[in-house]
Chain A
Amino acid sequence: MILPFVGKVNVPLAGSALALVGFGLYALWVHDQGGTCTCTFYDAARKQFVWAGVAAALMLVVMLVHYRHTRPAAYGLYAAAVVALGLLLVFGRYTRGARGWFALGPVNVQPAELAKIAVVLALARWLSGMTARDLSRAGGLAAPAAIAVLPMGLILVQPDLGNAMLFVPVLGAMLFVAGARMKHLAVALAVMLAAAPFAYRFGLKEYQRNRLTSFLWPERVPRELSYQQTQSERACASGGTWGSESSGYYVPDRHTDFIASLIAEETGFVGASFLLLFFAIFFAQAVWIAAQTRDPYGRLVVVGLVAFLAMQVFVNVGMATGVAPITGLTLPFVSYGGSSLVACFLALGLILNVSSRWAPGFSERDIDAGHHAIRDLPTKLLAS
């Protein structure tokens, strides 16, 4: 079957994503060879390769259907995601003190990764259906906030602080782009900043506090708590300009959360810079697509997905280089792990979909609110 939009695939976007996957595979492959760690896996790269194939196939499926068909389905997907997150708390597999995984036969599924996409779709549908007047009132922001907070709360009690916190900037970005007033966003930000110390004191578990403290005041906490981060920084530093063979620094969780340190060590400053460059291209292209499209739903979907991916990149690379606290966030397209990879490719599929369906036309809001002449225009265009 020849894809009808094959000529319209945004090559820089897809290309940079594939380059990032390549980076991840290379890092895992070298990691498997070198064996600075005595992990139990020897074929992480091969597994990751298979997962990339699966994820790419799923992405193509997502691209086949016009993305606007996701709009009516958005609330359904959202409900399914919330139910899955709820069930997770009951039936989920316990790993490292958190219930974040479903064991489905041979694979473990992390619903939080997929829930992110569902939340973006639901938010995009809600926001794109709002009138400009509603958006400009503080009360109008309550519903979108509620949409984001429900799954966020469910992820928070797993407990997975890192993933839950992602929802805040994503919601902010989508409200911002949808056209909420700056004043409201500023007030919300101020309230959250003011609440942060209380959340730190009463809302966090001991280990979570330790991670934050060890990041903010490394000299105040016992050494084993800041160990992971220090080792990661040292590993990065030993990479130098061009990278080096494994220096023997042992970084726990290297192939998943700390894969950035692996890349920085093996490929040096040059390689790591390329890594960031590919992310920059990816985000620039995606946001450019959002700017180009005139359909508010599509635009919001792209902005929401970009916000999620970008936040993960900041936090993940930040923690590997010692400028962000340790969380369990993966590096999109690069980290080892099927759920993460599939979610990233689904997001990529959606963004490419929005890009390839771009047509000079009118936004839904124009049509809904517009003159009958405008309303009839698409029909005329199609007929001609």
Chain B
Amino acid sequence: MDRRRVIFFLILVLLPLGGLEARLAYIQLIHPDGYASPARRRSLQFVTAPRGRILDAKGRVLARDERSFDLWLVLAEYEKRPESLAPFAIDDLDAKLEKIYARIETLMNRRPERERWLIYKRERATPYLVHKGLTFEQASEVETHLDRYPGCVVREVPRRTYPYATTGALIVGTLGRVRPEEARRAIEDAAFEDVDEDALRLLVARGALDEELVGRTGVERAAQDRLRGRPGLIIGERDPATGEQSWVELVPPRPGEDVELTVDIEFQKEVEAIVASMQTRTTAVVIHPQTGEVRALANDRSFDPNHFVPPTDVASLRAYLDPDGPQPLLNRATHGAFPFGSIFKIVSSVAALEEGKATPGRLIECRGQFLAGSNHTRCWTVKKQLPPHGPLTVAGALERSCNCYFYQVGQELGVETLSRWAEAFGVGVKSGIELGDVAGQLPRSGRRTTDSDARFLAIGQAELTVTPVQVSRLISVVANGGVRVTPHVVRGNGSNEPLPIRKETLAAVREGLHAVTHGEHGTAHTSGLATYDVSGKTSSAQTGRDPVTGEDRESHAWFAGYTKDVAVVVLVEFGGGGGLAAAPVAAKILEKLK
């Protein structure tokens, strides 16, 4: 019994081995062609697809592809008369040729010895890109006198240009060279039908995609997938008898889509001019409070995205990247996290009213200082030797930016509740803007927090940093009646989320913010904003001492305000008081909108 079963087991083991043998015979002997790929002996070349345009809100073109000419060399031909290219004065021609030779060598070394010569011959008969941006004259010279320029091939390719140059550059963004893995991914995404993957890989190994550009910052990056399109392919077949190459097939490139922005470039230009006229670093964000559409987003310095398109302007790029320079590439509106200050009192007010810690009519008296146990903290009036604010409603406290009022409600609310409301307003969290942004910092529960933390958070001082875009989100909630918007620059990208805030709460807060610009005690009533139907809040965020000189620095001056159809945020770094430094900038911006 046992032994019979063992023998049977042997048969069970040997049968599948026989099956595998049959399978090997099938794929190696009987039907090998079914597995070899159909396009093996073909050669391929890419055709760059034109990128989509970037348009502003009124259809003006901010980025487009222009006709440009690339020079490719077939080495075997070119070497017959290398002096022919001398009149073109191409930079680093030798270095580029050097690179191509190195590349061919790499390709050769991957193969066994006896194939190398074939590879060498094949690659020297294949055009390699040596120069981008021939002038039209040079291109037509080569094209019309092919005999004078042996081995030269001119290809027309799109070249990215930005007609408005520095204006709106932070939004439009920049291009950069593709990385090898991105190129590979792009090829895989393109999913060419019936094209041999190994041929594509060889094409990439030759460096055919090295000069491709992809979005690196701004909308160019955010909308990369829409703008990019799909490269085309020229498929060539080599006649084995004559060795001649004929181009037999073409997969046409599919151009990228146009992308329409929410920004009006002319308004953006004016805002940039206003911001650039300031003495210290200044940032402004203007959005539509109902939808979150960004209408302008400006830093005081900008850069020219044209400099990033090869042939790149190396000197300019170096200046942009200089760590001691103005660093125009850093978008301070999205990637600058700054101490915040009193504008946060809007969040504290809403939290207090919604959590039942205050009613619109509840009075809290400001005596100039706030006693809590053994330590006491002061209202800002003490430093300026003004009388204390006395009893205040929430609207009055917002108007005068009274610290004592908010020390009291902050202490009652606690850090956890406050930070929960802050997050609801988009403070301390990424805003979702396509340009990318940082989250800033928000003290959260989960670590030990004290009443003192809560008091300081309530006036926006604790460990709290925000980006101007976050502030635009915050002020929009008040402006649009309790909806948190997602700031966005590409039309149609927005998404809104209603917050659970009652009408009475908003009415009380709005009353306070209206009084900030119009009331006689308002912190911004001298700024010239009273002539516009604007409500808002100022902030003077303490910045501490200069780490180098040890002197007290000026505060960061903030203003966040709204009218019926815009929300404006201005940040003047080290500008001093929000009402004095930032609010007038907002007034100038609103002037342009009249």
Contact = CB atoms under 8 A, between A and B. Distances in A.
15 contacts: A34-B112, A35-B110, A173-B12, A234-B36, A246-B111, A250-B198, A269-B25, A269-B29, A272-B28, A276-B17, A276-B24, A287-B6, A287-B10, A291-B6, A296-B2
Given A237-B28, A249-B198, A177 B6 contact: yes
Q: Which of B1, B5, B24, B25 counts the most A-chain CB atoms under 10 A from its CB? A: B24
B10 A284 contact: yes
B13 A283 contact: yes
A34 B5 CA distance: 46
B114 to A, nearest CB: 8
Contacts of A34: 112
A314 B16 contact: yes
Contact of B13 (A246, A272, A310): A310
Interface stretch (A55-63, A318-326, A353-361, A371-379): A318-326
A224 interface: yes
A59 B112 CA distance: 38
A140 interface: no
Given A236-B35, A237-B28, A287 B9 contact: yes
A176 B24 contact: no
Contacts of B3: 291
Contact of B10 (A246, A249, A250, A283): A283
Contacts of A223: 191
B170 to A, nearest CB: 36
A241 interface: yes
A77 interface: no
A279 B13 CA distance: 10
B32 A237 contact: yes
Contacts of A33: 112
A120 B31 CA distance: 41
Interface in A312-364: 313-314, 317-318, 321-323
A238 interface: yes
Interface of A: 33-36, 173, 176-177, 179, 223-224, 227, 233-234, 236-241, 245-246, 248-250, 264, 268-269, 272-273, 276, 279-280, 283-284, 287-288, 290-291, 296, 299, 303, 306-307, 310, 313-314, 317-318, 321-323
B5 A177 contact: yes
Where chain A touches its partner, the secondary structure class is helix
Contacts of A248: 111, 198
Interface of B: 1-3, 5-10, 12-14, 16-17, 19-21, 23-25, 27-29, 31-32, 34-37, 109-112, 114-115, 188, 191, 197-198, 201
A179 B3 CA distance: 10
A340 B508 CA distance: 74
A246 B25 CA distance: 19
B2 A237 contact: no
A97 to B, nearest CB: 20
B10 A241 contact: no
Given A177-B6, A241-B29, A314-B16, 4 more contacts: A223-B191, A234-B35, A234-B36, A279-B17
B10 A179 contact: no
Nearest to A321: B23
Contact of B6 (A250, A264, A290): A290
A334 to B, nearest CB: 14
A26 to B, nearest CB: 16
Contacts of A35: 109-110
Given A273-B21, A283-B14, A287-B10, A236 B27 contact: yes
Contacts of A321: 20, 23-24, 27
A276 B198 contact: no
B112 A246 contact: yes
Nearest to B2: A179
Contact of B23 (A176, A224, A283, A323): A323
Contacts of A323: 19-20, 23
B27 A303 contact: no
Given A269-B28, A284-B14, A176 B9 contact: yes
